[in-house]
Amino acid sequence: MAKALFHILIFPGLLFLFIFGFFAEYVDRKLYARFQNRIGPPWFQPLADFIKLIAKEEIVPEEADSKVFKLMPILALTASSVAILYIPIWGARAVFSFNGDVIVVLYLLTIPTFTYFLGGWYSRSVYSMIGAVRSLTQLFAYEVPLFLCILASALLADTWSLSEMVTFYSHHLGYWFCNIIGFGVALICLLGKLEKVPFDIPEAETEIVAGSFTEYNGRLLAFIRMSFNIEMVAGASLLAAVFLPFGLNLPPVAVFLFYLVQVLFIIAIIAFLRTLFARLRLDQMINFCWKYLAPLAFLQVLLNLILKVVLLR
């Protein structure tokens, strides 16, 4: 009982996620700024933003549905926090694991997008409703390639449990190279899930003010920003576990350090991609995802199926 509470609240639960989430946001913003020839925020900036927002007055719009409006940020925070419990961080086994937990993690990481939609829709402001619809439309574009790439990796490992997948790859280190296409596609889809440029269409500041989050303020906005950070950590952790299975035969502390390096590497790539591109239009994004990403993901699945047959022999 105490152990479960420790896992949920401290490591790898809320406290660890909060600290690592702030650190990840700092790394992202600092790298983005340095790429643009700016100085960027100091290390405590995300924490300062969080504290400032918590201290502000919470205003719920009169026409908005108050219950849904207030519930959605907490739901987003919870869902992404639970996802991390199934991802191996300390050692090659996650805190909880069972056959099929890859699907559960993917499902939990999709819930925040739905909460952004519902929160925006029930805010009843024109900008929020347009942003909400956009975030759902974007979901249809990037979810399928992402799921397929993770599925391809799981296929080769012949298991639906994330911990067993990681163990399999750590024993057969050469096989991670087979998933390289999947890694590329999954990185781009992660950009879509985290709503970062070039896929930050639901939150296009110059078009619809702040999309779903236009009416959010105070504590609720702090939780939404926190949920974005935790989703970034959880998504990067998932990608690191599936596609970068290195150093897993070492003692748990070393595995944890490797994990930190891998997650920060993925976040650095995200920051780099953020600097390079302009924001795409929604129709262009859907075109791109279905014309290029989905076929590549299918190709990866096919490749892994063939490899599995070859290897079994």
Partner 1 sequence: MHESGDVKIPIGPQHPALKEPESFLISLRGEKITASSVRLGYNHRGIEKACEERTYTQGLYLIERICGICSHSHSTCFVQAIEEIAGILVPGRAKYLRTLIAELERIHSHLLWLGVAGHEIGFDTLLMYTWRDREVVMDLLATLTGNRVNYGINTIGGVRRDISLKQKEDVLKGIDILEERTKYYIELAKNETTLLKRLQGVGVLSHEDAKKLDAVGPTGRASGIARDVRKDDPYASYAELDFKVISVNNCDVYGRTLVRLGELMESFSLVRQVIRKIPDGPILVKAPRKIPAGQAVSRYEAPRGEDLHYVRANGTEKPDRVKVRAPTLANIQSVSKMLEDRYLADMPIVIAAIDPCFSCTDRLISIRDTHKNEKNTVVWETIRLKGIAWYKDRGVDFTALNKKLTKLF
Q: Cα-flanking dihedrals φ and ψ of residue 100, to 5°? A: 120, 5
Contact region with partner 1 (CB under 8 A), list: 40-48, 225-233, 252-260, 273-281: 273-281
Smaller CB separation from partner 1, 29 or 93: 29
Of 43, 173, 275, 292, the residue at the interface with partner 1 (CB under 8 A) is 275
Site string for partner 1, 161-200 (x = CB under 8 A): ------------------------------------xx-x
Smaller CB separation from partner 1, 63 or 158: 63
* Alpha-carbon torsion, ordered 114, 120, 123, 127, to 10 deg: -160
Verify binding: residue 127, partner 1, rule CB under 8 A: yes
Candidates 107, 89, 120; CA nearest to 147 is 107
Verify binding: residue 272, partner 1, rule CB under 8 A: no
HSE, CB side, 13 Å, CA atoms: give it for residue 3: 2
Cis peptide bond upstream of 12, omega within 30 = yes
Candidates 242, 106, 234; CA nearest to 168 is 242
Neighbours of 125 (CB within 10 A): 17
Smaller CB separation from partner 1, 27 or 234: 27
Of 1, 276, 310, 312, the residue at the interface with partner 1 (CB under 8 A) is 276
Q: First-to-last CA distance in the chain?
A: 46
Verify binding: residue 57, partner 1, rule CB under 8 A: no
Residues that bind partner 1 (CB under 8 A): 35-38, 126-127, 129-130, 134, 197-198, 200-201, 204-209, 275-284
